[in-house]
Amino acid sequence: MGAGEFWNDQAKAQQTVQLLKSLKAQQAPIESFQLLLHDVTELLPLVEAHDAASLDHLAADLATLEQQVEQLEIQRLLGGERDDKDAILFIHSGAGGTESCDWAQMLLRMYRRWAEEKGYATEVIDVLPGEEAGVKTATMIVKGPYAYGYLKAEEGVHRLVRISPFDANKRRHTSFASVDITPEVDEEVEIDVKDADLRIDVYRSSGKGGQSVNTTDSAVRITHLPTGLVVQCQDERSQLQNKTKALRVLKSRLYQLEVKKREAELEKEYQAKQKIEWGSQIRSYVLHPYTMVKDHRTEHETGNAQGVLDGKLDPFIEAYLKWKTRQEK
């Protein structure tokens, strides 16, 4: 990065910067653990049994070391080929009409809050609003070290049980929404996308934005005819910017599709996609008559449902990573 010509190739330079961030994200917690371990090792022979203050300080350091070991164990589990990449998150409302559209919007907020707490950047590039409330579909890019490695735990159907705010009789409703996660591929990854295989439509943005966003046909929808994949982008002001971003998302989805085809189990799962309804959920969020969030793969659960909806997802993600590792042995 110190070379004089480093920034001549902007795309390659950005890839190197991202690689540096990824390596630092791996290295920093190891160095922090080693430093504290050295301090504790030096302090241990000096602490006397009757020195309460020093004992308390040592106990606090040992507790911190234990937490750091747990985090390093989680980092060790993020060893997949694309785990260190940014993630593209797709949310689709399912069975349940307005209820499910509202639930899809709640999930979008949950993941944005989670990303904020992790220090990740988020970019919502496409939203299709529901007819009465919420969103039918949403696409968001999450940028940060190991974003995909963490978020891949969230792929599947999510079920919500609550008293409906849209029901005048205050009855309990069950809603569903699905979450798909794809790693954002690098520019150097070869994905063969022929112009003849694409149908590109432009339309006027439906979201909030500046004058040019809402008054020109700047939004772009790209359909990949061989696979039927459809991606949309409407958050940029120019049609060209939206087209560039939509193509990047399409390439990422095609890459993920190829990965799934190479893996027999995932190929079967992809071709026989479960319906977004009862019996296919990976996680349930119950707000009435009690509060609980339970993951049906790992059996991890908590009574702090509101905390989870506010982005406290790490315990569920970590439980999934450990469970997945056991499944692969």
Beta strands in 31-120 (DSSP E): 87-93
Would 1 be classed as within a structural domain?
no
Same domain for 174 and 93: yes
pLDDT at 267: 44
* Enclosing H/E stretch for 184: none
Same domain for 142 and 10: no
pLDDT at 84: 86
Count CB neighbours of 110 within 10 A.
21
Would 267 be classed as within a structural domain?
no
Structural tokens at position 223: 């359909």
Same domain for 125 and 12: no
% pLDDT > 70, the chain: 89
Same domain for 12 and 145: no
User: Which CATH number goes with the domain that contains 173?
Assistant: 3.30.70.1660
**Interval 259-274 mean pLDDT:** 53
Higher pLDDT, 107 or 46: 107
Half-sphere exposure of 20 (CA within 13 A, CB side): 8
Dist CA 155 CA 282 (whole Å): 8
Q: Is the pLDDT of residue 288 over 70?
A: yes
Structural tokens at position 93: 């409302």
Would 308 be classed as within a structural domain?
yes
Q: Which of 52, 77, 102 is the last residue of a domain?
A: 77
Count CB neighbours of 160 within 10 A.
26
Same domain for 280 and 184: yes
Residues 6+ apart with CB under 8 A from 1: 13, 16, 17, 20
**Structural domains in the chain (count):** 3
Residues 6+ apart with CB under 8 A from 260: 266, 267, 269, 270
Would 269 be classed as within a structural domain?
no
Phi, psi of 129, deg, nearest 5: -65, 150
Q: Which domain holds residue 12?
A: 6-77
Q: Which residue matches tokens 């006027």?
A: 204
Note whether 277 and 94 are within 8 A (CB). yes
Q: Which of 77, 95, 130 is the last residue of a domain?
A: 77
Same domain for 309 and 210: no
pLDDT at 320: 96
Q: Is the pLDDT of residue 272 over 50?
A: no
User: Which CATH number goes with the domain that contains 238?
Assistant: 3.30.160.20
The edge-to-edge listing of strands for the beta sheet with 198-203 is: 198-203, 219-224, 229-233
Nearest CA among 52, 270, 238, 46 for reference residue 155: 270
Would 169 be classed as within a structural domain?
yes
| CA dist 93 → 145, 209, 220 (Å) | 28, 24, 21
Task: For residue 208, give the 3-state DSSP assignment.
Answer: coil
Would 210 be classed as within a structural domain?
yes
**Interval 23-51 mean pLDDT:** 87
Same domain for 100 and 179: yes
Same domain for 200 and 182: no
**Interval 167-194 mean pLDDT:** 83
Same domain for 140 and 65: no
Identify the band that residue 213 occupies on the pLDDT scale cut at 50, 70 and 90.
very low
pLDDT at 206: 67
Would 321 be classed as within a structural domain?
yes
Cis-peptide into 165, omega within 30 deg: no
pLDDT at 269: 45
Q: How many angstroms from the chain centroid is the CA of residue 189?
A: 21
Q: Which of 212, 239, 262 is the last residue of a domain?
A: 262
Same domain for 23 and 172: no
**Interval 70-98 mean pLDDT:** 87
Same domain for 153 and 240: no
Q: Is the pLDDT of residue 104 over 60?
A: yes
Same domain for 199 and 170: no
Would 258 be classed as within a structural domain?
yes
Q: Is the pLDDT of residue 279 over 60?
A: no
